[in-house]
Amino acid sequence: MLAEKEFIKKILEHPSVKLIKELSANPAFPTWLLSNSTIVSVLSSKQKQTNYALVGRVFNFLSPILFKIPGVMQLILFLMTIPAAFKWLAIGRQGGVIKEDGKPFRIFVAHNSGAEDSLLKYYTSLQPTLPVKVINTTDPISFNNISRLPTRQLVIKLLWSYTIGVFKLCNGNDFKWLTNNQRVCLYIEAKRHMAKLACFQAWWQNFAKNHKVEEVCFLTSAEIAHGFYSSSLAVPTIYLQHGSLLINVLQLSFDRVVALNNYDKIYLDLVSKSSNISVYPAKNRIANLRPSVLFTSSPYDDYKEATNLKILRKLISWCHEQGLQFILRKHPRELDDFWEQHLPTQVFDSPDRTLEESFIFYRPLFVVAWFSTTLNDAHEHGIIPVVLQSGSAKRYLDDIVYPLQDNFLTWPENMTELQNIIHKQQFAKLDTEKTN
């Protein structure tokens, strides 16, 4: 285990933490850009950005010329974000506004990610008599069901203000140290997030005029939270940490915070202005573990590349050689049949179970993932978490606040240690009828 003093020193000396502190204190820097880990990583390390698709690479090639033509880059960014914003509004308006009863309520901001049902249950239990309404950032209709979506004019106005901010950043005297690659990164990443940010901020501004909300619960510091704080709503907030905290992302100062573990709490105490930070209650440890492995997948396409599939197939073969049943649990955002096509003979977990219910149902010896909160959850339940090494996962491990590599095992690097654990384990009888 990493000692607390050593952990604090590591945090305070991290280049991303220093950069975020410096830029967030500069009023000329749009702080919403600091919610993007790619931007922070590129600005703090001065690395070249070479991972974009063909359009991004062409843009990178032409940018030295385009930056010199007054107004061109500004106009390109603005025009490229409008279609995505209008599409979000159009989809949202397919649902009708539910009539208000005038009673106070709370809002839970979901993202269609894993374990949200458990978090919603936990949040509801904090004040059982105060109703909770759910909005989902992946479903614009859920916003319109609670409060009418904003006008196009308001969204365009916000988009233009964001565009001006990015343009001034890339061309201002305060940031002459930016390289061309860093400017390109800022434009491309801004383009990816501006549309939703504008829609969210505009919705919060409209929402404040018509509703009596007692509290808003966030699971992330991404666009939806930045949109809330940009709208200057005087409403209490709570942040229920869901997912591993990244050290290269700005942490907003919520009124209350519940962290996943002590490491994340220490980090948030250091970098945020939140004064009320606690840790989730300890979870029950799973007893009588069985000879099985629960693999939790990821919705991101780069984890499904041929190289990563090869690694996963090797893991499956190794599990069978060790006498372990392999169960694949799809991410809630995975709505396609990718895994069924590529791994048709595997056992799949039921999508109707929560993650905790799956832990109790299968009682696996190992929970394996590339990069997932499920590893933390497994650890807290007394199940051994294993990081499946891949090119995609390795890029993130150093950016996670929680010292994964000091606390979790990895496959295939720790294969011998994993085999020793299997051989020493006294398993409960595996009921094959239940787990198939």
pLDDT at 429 over 60: no
**Contact present, 299 and 333 (Cβ < 8 Å):** yes
328: confidence class by pLDDT, cuts 50, 70, 90: very high
3-class DSSP state for residue 49? Answer: coil
244: confidence class by pLDDT, cuts 50, 70, 90: confident
For residue range 41-56, what is the model confidence (pLDDT) as tens digits?
A: 888 874 554 455 555 5
From residue 257, give the alpha-carbon distance in Å to each of 122, 229, 251, 364: 13, 16, 11, 31
pLDDT at 82 over 60: yes
pLDDT of residue 140: 92
For residue range 129-169, what is the model confidence (pLDDT) as tens digits?
A: 999 999 999 899 999 888 888 999 999 999 999 999 998 88
Across 219-231, average pLDDT: 87
**Contact present, 11 and 247 (Cβ < 8 Å):** yes
pLDDT at 433 over 50: no
For residue range 162-211, what is the model confidence (pLDDT) as tens digits?
A: 999 998 888 777 888 888 788 888 888 888 899 999 999 999 988 866 67
Say if pTM beats, i.e. exceeds, 0.85: no
Nearest CA among 205, 195, 222, 191 for reference residue 91: 195
For residue range 249-300, what is the model confidence (pLDDT) as tens digits?
A: 899 989 999 998 888 999 999 998 888 999 988 888 888 888 999 999 877 6
The identity of residue 383, as a single letter, is I
Higher pLDDT, 304 or 190: 190
pLDDT at 389 over 60: yes
430: confidence class by pLDDT, cuts 50, 70, 90: very low
User: Does the 290-435 domain belong in CATH 3.40.50.2000?
Assistant: yes
What is the location of CATH 3.40.50.2000 in the chain? 290-435
Write out the H or E segment, with its range, that includes residue 199: helix 180-210
Q: Of 267-271, 357-361, 425-429, which gets the smallest average pLDDT?
A: 425-429
Higher pLDDT, 40 or 373: 40
pLDDT of residue 435: 42
245: confidence class by pLDDT, cuts 50, 70, 90: confident
> What is the end-to-end Cα distance of the chain in Å, rounded?
37
pLDDT of residue 56: 58
